């Protein structure tokens, strides 16, 4: 009888022990994944801005020097105490990062050298559509173990995009140009064009068969008589002939509405798309 009881206890205990062992394996794997990316280096200003939202500051062993420059970065003041790099392998290796993150076109020579030195380097593609933005956020989150925060970020962006889309109530769409430095208008196949469509605007550049970024004479722009001219603000206070197009007197003496958006969409779309969508929605609702 005693032997039978011991056998029964053994049969009951064995699954419990196996289950506990499996749980320990899962938790250990999660802890290992966290440890693998505990020290993060980034060579890209846009990735830096996402990392600032996704991970603890102490995990960032180096970020791009541009991220600490208020001309280019909205988080410059917040990151000024972090170690900075100029995209050089010799700056990164002594810091012993577990992972090095770079954009699609960043520092090819440095990245080649880092890989030869058996450093873990991951490149993230440049987002070219709204869907790409969410994908980039989740891809980055997977690499650094920040899935929950990434989901919150994407949810917020989606809400702002939905609010922008709600402006399109079926009324006659307004005509618009998205106008930038050097007299460039933005046509089809771009993130800007997607935003205009979501807002129910007719992109006059796209209707003229323009794809991507194209120069358009100011006279032709004015003769098209758009209802709205969308421009991105620049944080750069220095004089630039390229930006003189945006302050031309002819643009100040017209009947169309000028909508000014936060700068950075063409450079760091993933980190500013929500703000741009929110401002565009507010301006068009006036």
Residue 7 lies in a domain: no
Whether residues 281 and 186 fall in one domain = yes
pTM: 0.77
Domain boundary pick from 157, 183, 204: 157
Pairwise CA distance, residues 100 & 106, whole Å: 12
Q: Which of 126, 157, 188 is the last residue of a domain?
A: 157
Last residue of a domain, one of 137, 157, 177: 157
Same domain flag for 153 and 197? no
Q: What's the confidence (pLDDT) of residue 244?
A: 63
Same domain membership, residue 93 and residue 44: yes
Decide if pLDDT at 242 tops 50.
no
What does the alpha-carbon distance between residue 97 and residue 113 come to, in Å, rounded to a whole number?
Answer: 15
pLDDT digits (tens, 9 = 90+) for 62-100: 999 999 998 888 899 999 899 999 999 999 999 999 999
Indicate whether 124 pLDDT > 90: yes
Residues 216 and 259 occupy one common structural domain: yes
The mean of the pLDDT values for the chain is 83
Structural domain of residue 110, as residue ranges? 40-157
179-233 pLDDT, tens digit each: 887 889 999 999 999 999 988 899 999 999 999 999 998 888 888 999 999 988 7
Does some domain include residue 12? no
pLDDT the model gives residue 232: 82
How confident is the model at residue 133, as a pLDDT? 94
The residue with greater pLDDT, 50 or 164, is 50
CATH number reported for the structural domain that contains residue 251 in this entry: 3.40.50.1980
C-alpha closest to that of 246 among 264, 257, 258: 258
Q: CA-CA distances (angstroms) from residue 179 to 224, 243, 246?
A: 13, 11, 8
Same domain, 217 and 116: no
* Between residues 236 and 90, the one the model is more confident about: 90
Q: Are residues 183 and 231 in the same domain?
A: yes
Instruction: Answer yes or no: do 49 and 138 share one domain.
Output: yes
Same domain, 122 and 203: no
CA torsion sign, 39 to 45 to 47 to 48?
Answer: positive
Instruction: Give yes or no for a contact between 156 and 274, defined as CB atoms under 8 angstroms apart.
Output: yes
Measured CA angle at 247 (ends 207, 237), to 5 deg: 120
**In-domain check, residue 81:** yes
């Amino acid at each position: 009888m005693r032997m039978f009881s011991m056998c029964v206890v053994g049969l009951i205990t064995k699954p419990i022990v196996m289950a506990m062992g499996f749980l320990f394996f899962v938790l250990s794997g999660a802890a290992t994944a966290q440890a693998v990316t505990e020290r993060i280096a980034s060579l890209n200003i846009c990735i830096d801005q996402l990392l600032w939202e996704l991970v603890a500051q102490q995990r960032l062993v180096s970020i791009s020097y541009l991220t600490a420059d208020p001309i280019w970065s909205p988080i410059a003041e917040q990151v000024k105490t972090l170690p900075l790099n100029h995209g050089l392998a010799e700056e990164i290796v002594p810091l012993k990062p577990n992972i090095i993150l770079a954009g699609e076109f960043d520092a090819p020579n440095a990245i080649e050298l880092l890989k030869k030195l058996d450093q873990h380097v991951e490149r993230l593609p440049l987002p070219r559509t709204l869907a790409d933005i969410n994908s980039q956020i989740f891809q980055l989150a997977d690499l650094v173990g920040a899935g929950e925060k990434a989901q919150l970020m994407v949810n917020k962006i989606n809400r702002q995009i939905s609010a922008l889309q709600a402006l399109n109530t079926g009324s006659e769409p307004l005509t618009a140009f998205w106008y930038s430095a050097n007299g460039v208008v933005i046509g089809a196949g771009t993130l800007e064009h997607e935003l205009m469509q979501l807002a129910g605007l007719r992109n006059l550049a796209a209707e003229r068969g323009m794809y991507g970024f194209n120069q358009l004479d100011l006279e032709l722009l004015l003769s098209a008589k758009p209802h709205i001219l969308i421009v991105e603000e620049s944080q750069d206070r220095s004089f630039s002939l390229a930006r003189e197009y945006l302050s031309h007197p002819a643009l100040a003496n017209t009947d169309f509405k000028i909508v000014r958006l936060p700068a950075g969409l063409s450079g760091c779309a993933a980190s500013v798309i929500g703000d741009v969508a929110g401002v565009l929605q507010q301006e068009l609702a006036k």
